[in-house]
Chains A and B, each alone.
Chain A
Amino acid sequence: MISPLTSSHKHACCVCHRYFADADLQWIGGRTFCAVHHERAISATEAKWSRAGLLEAGLVVLFVLGVSLAFAGGSLPSGGPAALLLALVPAAIWLVYVYRQDRVEPEPLGLVLGVFVLGGLLEHALGDPLVHTLLQLDTWQHRSDLSAWVGAVTIEGTVAVLCAYLAVRYSVYLTSEFDEAIDGVIYATAASLGVATSQNFDLVAHHDHLLPVAGATAMASTTLVAVAAGSLLGYGLGRRRFDAKEGGRWLAGAFLIAAVVHGVFHELIVAAGTSAGEHEPLLGFGVAVGLTVFVLVGVHAITVGYARKMLADGRGDDVDEDDAFEDEEMELAS
């Protein structure tokens, strides 16, 4: 039985943060693991496919079905607590999925939830007024098809991704807990889901007589778009944090692609759900589910790819433990 030691020892497990003798520690990607968490990390990277994503996709479909049946013949409640609950369910489903992606070193749940809440608050306090009051998107987005796409990408997508970026970049990103590139995906997606939850809450709370199928599919689709854009942004944040030379370009590029994906996915879902002037929410939701598969494959590939890379690095002698900030500080000093 390996027993944890005191903090006078040099290294602690990066998951449980308990101190162990060097002989009892294993190294992956420059970080130390106790025997239990090392075994868990190794087994996590050996999985070729995660059932978690499929499970959550099924849960989102169940959410749509459940809401549609529960409020069949009526409309969604627009009251505060009920609206908040409805907005939280799809976000919670995806939050669990995203949280489980970091198999090597799971992030503190409190920090993930904190970033999620911060994203929602930023959307409510900054994003919503910026889009609807300052830039008045509602007054020009529907003038033409082109206006709809331009507005979705340059305004809606950009502001949503900006809120998620701010929520991560000026909070957990600056802390030592952001210690691997995949953390960017975790936190940015959580923040993006917070933004989506705020938008979903506004949708339900500010629209009386919202039809159940339309409302449920809209909320589920919004969270899907958030997962896609958030994971892309997070990849850029991770590269920025641990790549001093090219990280800035990676982040700017990732931000741009995330904003484009956010806007394009949103408009694709809207276009699919609108056929010959008729609203077909289930068709739009079908496209959203199709996009989900794309998102799941992408996020899974990124996650496992990073984990395997770290495993291949072993103790990580070739991996610089200092991050991009310190490299830049040294460059500035010289």
Chain B
Amino acid sequence: MSLGEDLKVRSAPLDVGVWLVVAVLLGGGYAYARAMAPKARVVRAFDGAVSFRLPAGWSGHEQGAAVRDDESTESDESWLDAVDGPEAHTFVAQLPTLDSIVPTVLVERASDPAEPLGPLFHDLEVTRMQTARSDSGTAYRTLHVDERPAFGCEKTTWVWFAIVRDPPHAAPGAAVLPIVVTGVDVLAETASGEAWHIAAFEPAHASEDDEGELRRIVEGLRITP
């Protein structure tokens, strides 16, 4: 028979049972995924002077001292195992991926608390911050500079930048594509006379999700005044 010949079409009632099964299975799977999803956690570093809210999937550790993770299910011992670099005092938060340069947030003390802060210190520190960033790659560009209250501090200076870097562990002159990195260096000065350097960067053209998470981590950072 050719298609259409003697082919009668009729209506049929809805298969309620099937749709119930579909709703239960899909709903159950979705509920399971939500229940098992790692939760965002608050991480404190530098003896509680700095606190972060790290999204699921991000790792964080303080180089040189232990980090207290308020909501982590892991024991303190496992966090101590992750600590390395006893000389430095930098907090590192990263989103582990297979990319050679991953979204990263760094926090470190920018000054000796014994020294008073002031306009001269501010200008020198911003210059030092930019020079250090410029030395980490080539084609350094300052994209934008802004000053505003943030992190619970009255005065913060934001320097948005772009820079070109070789992939980590690439031999000099190796035939690899360099990576354009974009990010921000922030100098934060507290009322108590402490200065902090916050850096956040990621490869240019990273996913919007990664970019959004990076922005939320930085904006959600809190420094004890």
Contacts and interface: CB of A to CB of B under 8 A. Distances in A.
Given A174-B9, A174-B10, A251 B32 contact: no
A12 to B, nearest CB: 8
Contacts of B6: 12, 17, 176
Could you say which interface size class chain A belongs to?
A: 35 or more
A140 B35 CA distance: 11
A114 B32 CA distance: 36
Interface residues of B, number: 27
Given A140-B37, A162-B22, A249-B17, A173 B29 contact: no
Contact of A150 (B16, B21, B32): B32
A177 B4 CA distance: 10
B7 A177 contact: yes
Interface stretch (A45-53, A151-159, A298-306): A151-159
Contacts of B17: 248-249, 251-252, 255
B39 to A, nearest CB: 13
B33 A325 contact: no
A22 interface: no
Given A17-B5, A108-B1, A135-B33, A325 B13 contact: yes
A108 B3 contact: yes
Contacts of B21: 252, 255-256, 259
B175 interface: no
Contacts of A259: 21, 25
A251 B15 contact: yes
A248 B5 CA distance: 29
A313 B66 CA distance: 80
Interface in A193-243: 240
A3 interface: no
Given A135-B30, A140-B36, A150-B29, A251 B9 contact: no
Given A17-B1, A114-B3, A251-B15, 20 more contacts: A110-B3, A135-B26, A140-B37, A143-B36, A147-B32, A147-B33, A154-B26, A155-B26, A158-B26, A158-B29, A169-B12, A175-B7, A175-B10, A176-B7, A252-B15, A255-B22, A256-B21, A259-B21, A325-B10, A325-B12
8 contacts: A12-B6, A16-B1, A135-B26, A135-B29, A154-B29, A252-B17, A255-B17, A256-B21
